[in-house]
Amino acid sequence: MKVGIVGAGMVGSAAGYALALTGAASRIVLVDRSEALALAQAQDIAHAVPFASAVAVEAGGYEALAGADVVILAAGVGQKPGESRLALLERNAAVFEDVIAAVLRATPDPILLVATNPVDVMTHVTAKLAGLAPGRVFGSGTILDTARFRSLVAHHLGIAPHSIHGYVLGEHGDSEVLGWSGARVGSEPLASVAAQLGCAITADVRARIDDGVRRAAYRIIEGKGATNYGIGAGLARIVQAIGRDEGAVMSLSLVTPEVAGVQNVALSLPRVVGAGGLRSTLMPTLDADEIAALAASARMLRDTSDALGL
């Protein structure tokens, strides 16, 4: 499978590296406004190939994306001192106008996987600009938040994260919603397993895990200035699920007709991922507090989309 990556910065290059290590793509093309950066990243990743899978890694202009099955969008501009979130969003949306047009000239019907933050609104921007079939434009959303949630619950119980089934929903950001009430371990409700193991999910444990999920990015950025490895691996995992037509369930951001009473909003819910992109949504069981929190998250995202005229 040929995978293009537009934006060869921290996130784009980490995605390229993870794709090379996992062999989820057979060909990777990096494109960046800075040709020198794209070339340097492509060479560096290519030098890992003899230790990993047989993957062709190159840099190029947009024309090099011809025939790409999936294009990861990781291009973006950083926040200027004193710049509001909305002003930053408007600048990133303007960058995407050029980027999406150039991508679609090279490869007319790709799957577009949005990673640029704020990922939910950028997913909405991309869906509107690209006009591709629903399910072919989606964002990495809360895939990483869900991974953090599963890992922290797993650690508390002493059980593998793979056996923890629970999702983080809504915005990838401050208003995200941890789906505690529907979380299961194996086939059993989380609370029942926690009681059996003598590791009750007390209010303190819940607060600690919530904070660990919600504040993870802030802590990592404080320490190293960016987050890239986790999201890079998540993006490669999504591409793998597409390439193998897996039907894997992942929390990903998609423009959704209606969520918790809010219409036409891009946010994360568990989605089924396969060859054509996202093929369905699995609405999780939520309690009243979680529904209210999801409605608030959706409303906030809808308001931002309104401000951008989406």
**CA 113 to mean position of chain CA atoms:** 8
Q: How far is the CB of 73 from ligand ADP (least distance, A)?
A: 9
CA–CA dist 246, 146 (Å, integer): 19
The residue ranges that bind ligand ADP (CB under 6 A) are: 6-12, 32-34, 37, 74-78, 95, 98-99, 226
Is 124 annotated in a binding site? The answer is no
Instruction: Please indicate if the annotation marks 174 as binding a ligand.
Output: no
Q: Is 119 annotated as a binding residue?
A: yes
99 or 216: CB nearest ligand ADP: 99
Nearer to ligand ADP, 19 or 272 (CB): 19
Considering the complex, what minimum distance in angstroms separates the CB of residue 245 from ligand ADP? 28
Q: Which is nearer to ligand ADP, 78 or 261 (CB)?
A: 78
Given 155, 156, 162, 172, the catalytic residue:
172
Is 29 annotated in a binding site? The answer is no
Rounded Cα gap, residues 119 and 168, in angstroms: 15
Taking the complex as a whole, the smallest distance from the CB of residue 207 to ligand ADP amounts, in Å, to 29
Catalytic site includes residue 172: yes
Nearer to ligand ADP, 95 or 242 (CB): 95
Determine if residue 79 is labeled as part of a ligand binding site.
yes
Q: How far is the CB of 274 from ligand ADP (least distance, A)?
A: 27
The residues assigned a catalytic role are 172
> Residues annotated in the binding site for substrate, as ranges?
79, 85, 117-120, 145-148, 227
